[in-house]
Amino acid sequence: MKIQKLIRDVLLIEWFRGLSVTFKTMLVKPVTRLYPHVKRQPFPGFRGRQALVRDPEKLKERCIMCLRCKTVCPSNCISIEVGKDENNARVLKEYSIDATRCIYCAYCVEVCPVNALVLTEEYEYLGDKRSDLFFTKEKLLSDWDEFLTNYPGDSYFNKFWRPPGMPEKMLTPQKRNEKPIEIKKKNEEIAS
């Protein structure tokens, strides 16, 4: 045993074994990406930048002001202001998300009864100031438009609007019957 060990130590056998592994890897294609040049498309359902869904028909936000998202948020980053219009109907005056506080758990997306909120697959957003990451209602709606115009697919359906495997009885009627949002049609409308 000792002689064997001595021979191994003198001939540096273990070292050459290790080196053979590293030399083999030299011949393999690299697994890394040159990030700013080669961008990675996240998987569907990636929890990225927040946005308010613009209803394809009404062309305004879908929110019904039930305050469930505000209540469920573990980090209290959502603030909602409800006002009244001339017909004494409730309107959404302000809806803001503080992205510096948000922990991207997507609970708000899951509890929203009308799928008005979404965490989009957009992941490249940053700001020089804290106020750049404080999203107001207008910003959230324009983020949604921006996201849809850049989205590669024909239609969009967020995973957390109806998590796969979720039983029907746990969903509100609108969540059960939600259809994917057609993007091409919408883009044409905006163009015309």
Partner 1 sequence: MGSMEVKEIKEQILTTQNVCILPEVEDNLETKEMILNMGPQHPATHGVLRLVLRLDGEEIVGMEPHIGYLHRGIEKLMESKTYAQALPLTDRLDYISSPANNTAYAIAIEKLFGIEAPIRAKFIRTIFCEMARISSHLLWLATHALDIGAMTIFTYCFREREWLLDLFEMTVGARLLTNFARIGGVRCDISPEFVQGLRDFTKEFPSRVQEYETLLTKNPIWMERTIDIAQISGEDALSWGLTGPCLRGSGVDYDLRRDCPYDAYPYLKFHVPLGENGDVYDRYLCRMEELRQSNEMLKQLLDQLPEGEIISDDSPDFVIPTPPRQVEGAGSAASAFITLSKERKMINTGDLYSAVEVPKGELGVYVVSDGSGKPYRLRLRTPSFVHIAAMPALSVGHMVADIIAIIGSIDIVLGESDK
* Shortest CB 144 distance to partner 1, Å: 17
Contact 76, 97 (CB under 8 A): no
CA distance 26 to 22: 7
Give the alpha-carbon dihedral of 95, 97, 103, 105, to 10 degrees: 30
How many chain residues touch partner 1 (CB under 8 A)?
A: 44
- Residue 18 interacts with partner 1 (CB under 8 A)? yes
From residue 23 to residue 62, the character string flagging contacts with partner 1 as x (rule: CB under 8 A) and all else as - is: --x-----x----------xx-xxx---------------
CA distance 97 to 83: 18
Straight-line distance from the first to the last Cα atom of the chain, in angstroms, rounded to the nearest whole number: 84
* Shortest CB 9 distance to partner 1, Å: 7
From residue 72 to residue 91, the character string flagging contacts with partner 1 as x (rule: CB under 8 A) and all else as - is: x-x-----------------
- Residue 143 interacts with partner 1 (CB under 8 A)? no
Six-digit token string for 141: 């709606």
One residue of 51, 97, 114, 148 binding partner 1 per CB under 8 A: 114
Q: Which is nearer to partner 1, 173 or 180 (CB)?
A: 173
- Residue 167 interacts with partner 1 (CB under 8 A)? yes
**Cβ atoms within 10 Å of 183's Cβ, excluding its own:** 19
One residue of 9, 132, 154, 189 binding partner 1 per CB under 8 A: 9
CA distance 83 to 93: 6
Six-digit token string for 4: 């064997």
CA angle 109, 68, 144 (to 5 degrees): 35
Interacting residue ranges for partner 1, rule: CB under 8 A: 9, 14-15, 17-18, 20-22, 25, 31, 42-43, 45-47, 64, 66, 68, 71-72, 74, 103-107, 110-111, 113-114, 119, 159-160, 163-167, 169-174
